[in-house]
Amino acid sequence: MGKPVAIGNDANAAALGEAWSGAAKGVPVSVMYTLGTGVGGGIVIDGKVLVGATGMAGELGHMTVVPDLEAIHCGCGKMGCLETVSSATGIVRMAEDAVKRGDKTMLADLKKITAKDVFDAARAGDETALRIIRRAAHYLAKSMAAVALVVNPNRFVIGGGVSRAGDLLLDPVREEFRKLAQERAQEGVDIVAAALGNDAGMIGAAALCRMR
């Protein structure tokens, strides 16, 4: 069509969209996590996405956060990635493992467990579901504590389907982050839900074109 083209991956575009007109608008340094079937991420500094030397900056889902004795293989081939515990897929896997172990949980009555089922069970007071969410929140916050020492953001934005759980997920993440992050690295940092939903990537893609 004879027009200039800008290309970015989905999580980076979503992070830029949230920084441009969403939950991180006006924030100098923001980091976004997209929690879906996997875990994506994007880092925006002064209105620009940090892509790194080979485009790997912001691949937050593949930070190694799970200790060796608890780690499983990630789809990327490495062990102990954040994606294995804090994605919808990871949450479902932990729930299925709990059912196989014979844990007492209402999830055992379901033929096929979804991440939404786990959050619904947690809201109903199911201790197994609550434990799974706390574990997912712990490792998400552990990765944030490390990221905070590298880019020192003003705000973390949590998006993707799993973020629809709202404060049921965000509250334990905030609590764990305060425990795990260095004091100076957590000063003035807030952790919020994304605001743009499924439009974030589209808005971020438009921002990429506007910035050319």
Confidence of residue 212 (pLDDT cuts 50, 70, 90): confident
Q: Is the pLDDT of residue 1 over 90?
A: no
pLDDT in the model for residue 132? 97
Query: 182-196: b or e for each residue (b if 16 or more CB lie within 10 Å)?
Result: eeebbeebebbbbbb
Mean pLDDT of 2-31: 93
Output the 3-class SS for the chain: CCCCCCCCCHHHHHHHHHHHHCCCCCCCEEEEEEECCCEEEEEEECCEECCCCCCCCCCHHHCECCCCCCCCECCCCCECECHHHHCHHHHHHHHHHHHHHCCCCHHHHCCCCCHHHHHHHHHCCCHHHHHHHHHHHHHHHHHHHHHHHHHCCCEEEEECHHHHHCHHHHHHHHHHHHHHCCHHHHCCCEEEECCCHHHHHHHHHHHHHHCC
**Per residue in 131-149, pLDDT tens?**
999 999 999 999 999 999 9
Q: Is the pLDDT of residue 129 over 90?
A: yes
**Per residue in 147-205, pLDDT tens?**
999 999 999 999 999 999 999 999 999 999 999 999 999 999 999 999 999 899 999 99
Percent of the chain with pLDDT over 70: 100
Mean pLDDT of 107-116: 95
Confidence of residue 3 (pLDDT cuts 50, 70, 90): confident
pLDDT in the model for residue 5? 86
pLDDT in the model for residue 8? 87
Confidence of residue 210 (pLDDT cuts 50, 70, 90): confident
Contact 136, 90 (CB under 8 A): yes
Confidence of residue 14 (pLDDT cuts 50, 70, 90): very high
Class of domain 10-210: alpha beta
